[in-house]
C-alpha cells in the first residue's frame, strides 16, 4: 500500500530575532502558501553573560509558540519541520527550554548547525527565485549569526556561518538604542573581523549576483527605496547615505524612518553595520532582496523527505565514498538487519517505525567510517566524525543519535549513553543498537557466503537466537563472539541466549 502523503505541511524557524511559521497545502507535489505567522521574540537578547536564556525571554518565546502550536499541534509528525538556530545552539539551558517549547508545539524541534542553516537558507532563496546558471552569493542576517552562501541553481557550493547577528551587534555596540559615529565604526570593524576568514572565498570576483534574504535586509531595502537613496535593491551608494543618517542621530528613536517597522528599530543599526561591513569587505556594489529564506528551505527539505529524496541519504552515500567504506560489507549488514526486523514485532519504534529503520541503515552504512583514520578503536573515530561533522540535512540531534548507535555497535555497551537522548530514542535506540551489533557480529568474517536462516526474538530485555543444527559447531569464531557478546549485553541489562 503506497504511503499517503500529507495534504498540509508546515515549517517553523525559531530564529534568534524572530520566530516564523509557514503553512502550505500540498497537492501532487505542488505547494500553495495558506498561512504565515511571524513574531519578533529577540531570543538572542535574552542570553545573559553566562550564556543562559533568561526567564522573561523564555516566557515571551513560549507564549509565541503556544500561539503557533494552536495552528499545527494536530498535524501528523511527518508534515512539520521545526528548527532552532544560533541562540538555541549556544544557550547553556537550551535543552530545558526545548522541552517546554516542544510541549507547546507538540512536535520535535531540531537544532541545526550554522552550515546546515546556510544550506537551508540557500534552498529557500533558490526555490523562490527559480533556477538560473548564475553563481549567486546569498547573505542572510539572523539575530545571532549571519550566513553566506555561494551556489548555482538549487545547489549550494560554499557555505559559511559567522557569529554576528542584528541582535548581538545592536546589543553590543548600540546599548539601549544609543547611536554615535564611534559606536557605528566599532560595530562595522567587529563585522569586518568576522568576515576576514571568509573574505577570499566570497569576494566579488567569485560570483555573478548578490542576493539578500532575511528581515534585516528587506527592511534596509525598503528604507533605501522610500528615501530615494536607492531604487534597485541595496546599493553601496544608498548604504553610505543610510550610514550617514544613522551616525548623525544620538538614539534609534531619532532615526525618523516611517517605513521601518517599529519592532525592528532596536536591532536595525546592528543589521546596517553588518551589511555595510559586508559590502566593503566583499566588494559588493548592488544586492537584490529575496522573499525566500530559511522557512522556505525547510519546506523544500520536508518535500524531499515526503517524496523519498531525503538529502540525508545522499549525505550518507557521499560519506561512504569520502571515507572509503566497504559498501559490499555494509550492504550485507543491512540485509541482515532487514532479516532481523522482519522477525520482530514492531513493539519498539512505534509509531515511527520507518524512521527507526532509516537511522539503523544509516548506522550500518557509516559504522566503519573511522577505519579511514585508524583500525584500533575505529568505532570511536566513526562516532566522533558523525557527531561533529557538517552533514547536510542532519540536525544536531540526528547526528548525536547516529553517533551513539555507531559508537555502541561493538565492544562495551554503555546503556547510560542513551539516557540523554530525547524520547522516544532514549527507549528505542538501545534496541536498534542491539540489532546492529548482532548484524555486524554475524558478518565478522566479511565473506560473501549467505548466512543460514535463523530465528530471533527480542522480548523486553531477553534476546534469543536460534541457528540451524550444527552451524555453531562449524563456526567456532562466531560461537566465541556470541559468548563474548552475551557478556557485553549483560552489563547493559540484556540477556542473550543462542543455540
Give me 383's grid cell. 562516532
Per residue in 203-225, pLDDT (tens digit) is: 999 999 999 998 999 999 999 99
Q: 458-481: string of b/e by CB count within 10 Å (b at 16+)?
A: beeeebebebeeeebeebeebeeb
Written as one string, the DSSP assignment of 259-271 is TS-GGGGGGHHHH
Q: Which of 162-166, 347-351, 493-497 has the lowest mean pLDDT?
A: 347-351
Q: What gap in Å lies between CA 336 and CA 320, rounded to an integer?
A: 19
Say whether pLDDT at 1 is over 60.
no
Per-residue pLDDT at 304 = 94
Rounded CA-CA distance 405/401 in Å is 6
- Cβ distance 471 to 449 under 8 Å? no
Domains and CATH numbers, the chain: 8-112+296-302 (3.30.420.40), 115-293 (3.30.420.150), 310-448 (1.10.3210.10)
Whether 254 contacts 265, CB under 8 Å: no
* 409, 379 Cβ separation under 8 angstroms: yes
What is the C-alpha to C-alpha distance for residues 464 and 461, in angstroms, rounded to an integer?
A: 10
Dump pLDDT digits (tens) for 184-204: 999 999 999 999 999 999 999
pLDDT tens digits along 3-33: 688 999 999 999 999 999 999 999 888 899 9
Residues in the chain: 499
State the pLDDT at residue 423: 85
Q: What average pLDDT score do residues 288-315 get?
A: 94
Q: Give the pLDDT confidence of 327-337 residue by residue, as tens digits.
A: 999 999 999 99
CA angle 186, 190, 195 (to 5 degrees): 145
Average pLDDT over residues 342-348: 75
Count CB atoms within 10 A of the CB of residue 490: 13
Q: How far is CA 345 from CA 7, 229, 418, 454, 467, in A?
A: 30, 67, 22, 16, 19
Band (360; pLDDT cuts 50, 70, 90): very high
Stretch 253-260: mean pLDDT: 94
* Grid cell listed for 44: 538572542
Radius of gyration of the CA atoms of the chain, in A: 26
Strands 80-84, 8-14: parallel, antiparallel or unpaired by DSSP? parallel
Give residue for cell 561533529: 388
Amino acid at each position: 500500500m503506497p504511503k499517503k502523503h500529507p495534504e498540509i505541511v508546515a515549517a517553523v524557524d525559531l530564529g534568534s530575532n524572530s520566530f516564523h511559521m509557514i503553512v502550505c497545502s500540498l497537492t501532487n507535489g505542488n505547494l500553495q502558501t495558506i498561512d504565515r505567522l511571524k513574531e519578533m521574540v529577540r531570543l538572542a537578547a535574552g542570553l545573559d553573560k553566562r550564556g543562559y536564556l533568561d526567564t522573561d525571554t523564555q516566557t515571551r518565546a513560549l507564549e509565541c509558540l503556544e500561539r503557533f502550536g494552536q495552528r499545527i499541534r494536530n498535524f501528523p509528525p511527518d508534515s512539520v519541520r521545526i528548527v532552532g538556530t544560533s541562540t538555541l545552539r549556544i544557550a547553556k539551558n537550551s535543552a530545558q527550554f526545548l522541552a517546554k517549547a516542544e510541549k507547546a508545539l507538540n512536535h520535535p524541534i531540531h537544532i541545526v548547525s550554522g552550515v546546515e542553516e546556510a544550506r537551508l537558507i540557500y534552498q529557500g532563496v533558490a526555490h523562490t527565485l527559480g533556477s538560473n546558471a548564475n553563481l549567486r552569493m546569498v547573505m542572510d542576517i539572523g539575530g545571532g549569526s549571519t550566513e553566506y552562501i555561494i551556489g548555482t541553481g538549487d545547489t549550494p557550493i560554499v557555505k559559511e556561518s559567522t557569529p554576528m547577528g542584528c541582535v548581538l551587534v545592536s546589543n553590543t555596540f548600540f546599548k539601549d538604542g544609543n547611536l554615535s559615529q564611534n559606536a557605528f565604526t566599532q560595530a562595522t570593524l567587529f563585522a569586518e573581523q568576522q568576515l576576514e576568514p571568509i573574505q577570499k572565498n566570497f569576494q566579488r570576483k567569485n560570483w555573478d549576483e548578490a542576493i539578500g534574504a532575511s528581515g534585516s535586509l528587506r527592511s534596509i531595502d525598503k528604507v533605501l527605496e522610500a528615501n530615494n537613496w536607492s531604487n534597485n535593491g541595496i546599493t553601496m551608494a544608498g548604504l553610505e547615505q543610510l550610514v550617514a543618517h544613522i551616525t548623525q542621530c544620538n538614539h534609534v528613536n531619532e532615526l525618523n524612518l516611517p517605513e521601518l517597522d517599529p519592532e525592528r528599530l532596536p536591532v536595525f543599526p546592528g543589521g546596517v553595520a553588518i551589511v555595510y561591513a559586508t559590502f566593503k569587505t566583499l566588494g559588493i556594489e548592488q544586492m537584490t532582496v529575496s522573499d525566500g529564506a530559511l522557512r522556505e528551505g525547510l519546506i523544500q527539505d520536508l518535500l524531499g523527505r515526503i517524496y523519498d529524496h531525503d538529502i540525508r541519504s545522499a549525505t550518507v552515500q557521499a560519506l561512504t565514498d569520502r571515507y572509503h567504506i566497504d559498501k559490499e560489507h555494509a550492504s550485507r549488514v543491512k540485509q541482515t538487519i532487514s532479516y532481523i526486523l522482519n522477525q520482530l514485532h514492531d513493539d519498539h519504534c512505534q509509531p515511527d517505525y520507518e524512521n527507526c529503520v532509516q537511522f539503523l541503515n544509516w548506522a550500518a552504512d557509516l559504522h566503519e567510517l573511522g577505519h579511514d583514520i585508524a583500525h584500533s578503536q575505529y568505532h570511536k573515530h566513526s562516532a566522533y566524525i558523525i557527531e561533529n561533522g557538517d552533514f547536510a540535512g542532519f540536525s544536531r540531534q540526528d547526528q548525536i543519535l547516529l553517533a551513539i548507535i555507531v559508537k555502541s555497535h561493538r565492544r562495551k555497551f554503555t546503556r547510560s549513553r542513551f539516557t540523554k537522548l530525547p524520547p522516544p530514542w532514549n527507549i528505542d535506540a538501545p534496541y536498534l543498537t542491539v540489532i546492529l551489533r548482532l548484524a555486524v557480529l554475524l558478518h565478522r568474517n566479511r565473506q560473501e557466503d549467505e548466512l543460514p536462516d535463523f530465528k530471533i526474538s527480542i522480548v523486553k530485555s531477553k534476546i534469543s537466537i536460534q541457528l540451524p543444527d550444527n552451524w555453531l559447531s562449524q563456526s567456532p569464531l562466531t560461537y566465541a563472539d556470541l559468548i563474548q557478546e552475551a557478556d557485553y549485553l549483560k552489563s547493559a541489562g540484556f540477556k542473550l541466549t543462542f543455540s
